[in-house]
Structure 1
Amino acid sequence: MLRESRPVLSNVDTAQVLVRSRGYWSTVAVRLKRDVLTLGFGVILLAIILSAFFANAIAPMDPEAAKMTRRLKDIGYTNTRTGDTHWLGTDKLGRDMLSRLIHGSRMSLLMGVLPIVFAFAIGGALGLIAGYAGGWGNMLIMRTMDIFYAFPSVLLAIAISGALGVGIVNAIVALTLVFIPPITRVTESVTTQVRLLDYVDAARSSGAGSLTIIRVHIFSNIIGPVFVYATGLISVCIILGAGLSFLGLGVEAGVAEWGRMLNELQDAIWKVPWVTALPGASIFVTSLSFNMVSDGLRSAMDIRL
């Protein structure tokens, strides 16, 4: 008696069957739960974000309270008179480093996330128009973006911020202009690929308008890859924003921000090296967390992997 043979599914076929049975986002959630490394860095990133939101309640001391008698104290210093413990030491004005690091996360995250949000909205719209329109519209938009690509991102951010002047708003504007071209290019590339697929031609043949095709068939298929790419740029934006503040082109003097704190502590590196390294370590851990979470999202959202 002959037995009926069953087809053997490849890894890609199995992944597609799982997506159809569970749903795409349910499959992404399951794959994220199995990614221990991404979850670990996600917890670290969540802790940093929550500390920024609740800085006033978490910070043990006033970040602006200066006292020269306790300046440049090492990690774990305890004031015998008041009994206050500076768990991460003090800076050159005697301000508590732990409190300043917690409050500094607000400005650093603001300068890292907000420019990417604006660049995602503007660059995504420009790339979508360029990829769908093609022709002269594509050439005009993309050649304009190539002008920005002619300059290194660091020098372009310094030039724009220097021309606008010192200030958090000007720094955000400068960083937004730096990250619009890469997001526009990625969005244009993905839109062009989707525009040439058969179901878009079928929708166009059925009489669907351009706005309907973009909203229903193109936007929903490009938002995932562009969003993951944009989240990966947050780590770069945090470093660039801290660099602007370190050079005196970001936040104003005295404001608690990690890059500015590095600038203020650079003269004390030989006296309290561990305290001096704290703002740099905060920048490194935060940017690494954003980068690892972005990579984990990219892997989880790609069913071919």
Structure 2
Amino acid sequence: MPEQLLRPAARLLCVDPSGAVLLLGCVDPARPHLVHWIAPGGGVEPGEQPHEAVVREAWEELGLVLDDLGGAVARSDDAFSWAGQPIVGQNSWFAVRTPRFDPVARGMSDDEAAATVGARWFLPDELGSLPAGEVVEPTRTAELVRRAHATLPAEPHRPTARVLVVSRLDGVDRVVLVSTAAVEGGTVWFAPGGGVEVGEDHRAAAVRELAEELRLEVDPDDLGDPVWVRRHRLPGAVDLREVYYLLRLDEHGLDLDLARVDAGFLAAEGVTGVRWFTVDELERLRGAAAGEIVAPRDLASRLPALLAADPSAGRPAAPVEVPV
């Protein structure tokens, strides 16, 4: 019998609004008759923290882009065996509220892909009555899911990519914004962009959204690194986790004609307007009476410093967190 292996690991509980959890079905080559249902995740690599590991594994196994999940919701030592090797998984458990989705693996090894036979959403009670030939590991999974469902925010986590599209006309910088009806009434103006789809990263989502919303085709490398991050929780709706990119059209020889946008597509997406704003116009809008707002609310004061930065100096090592 091989010596027992201690394996630090990170596991992710994706819990939908009904309290169901996404598990992966795996088959151990030493026990091919049995399907093991386990939470996505895996070993913590040297130099990684458990949170870093679970974010990486979420992308590799599910195609899910995550950022700050907070601390682990539980820790456990769980004994199992794989390919005849006894293992104690020293698991750090993380949880996130998501809508139901179909995983799109983006980085599984060949061995991992061969051992994974499916994915399924389970309510906790279903985990206690699996058919013959199927088991859930560890057995405490249902208890952890119930606890996560009771404590997670109700709003699903929604990774979002936005782009500050800037052009200079007669020596004055302008930024293009789109508008929609604000939850509290009136109109809100914000940078083009939208939700990151399963299997996409933020940059790919930003490129897709620019093509869809503005009919603007860009190379992913034109976007550089993110410049801002912003979290905006909309009670009863979604937990927005926004990543902002800066695109200077002049630097990349690009042109944007707002007359070419697909008004029908935008209307179907809930967009009510699209236009250029100078910083002065944003300042006047911020000081105007209620009815029109800009998101983030301090865009007019933040944008000049961002645009004044020397592009040759590169972007900040980490994006700046901006308030709602």
TM-score by length of 1: 0.25
Larger Cα-atom Rg: 1
TM-score by length of 2: 0.24
Larger helix share, 1 or 2: 1
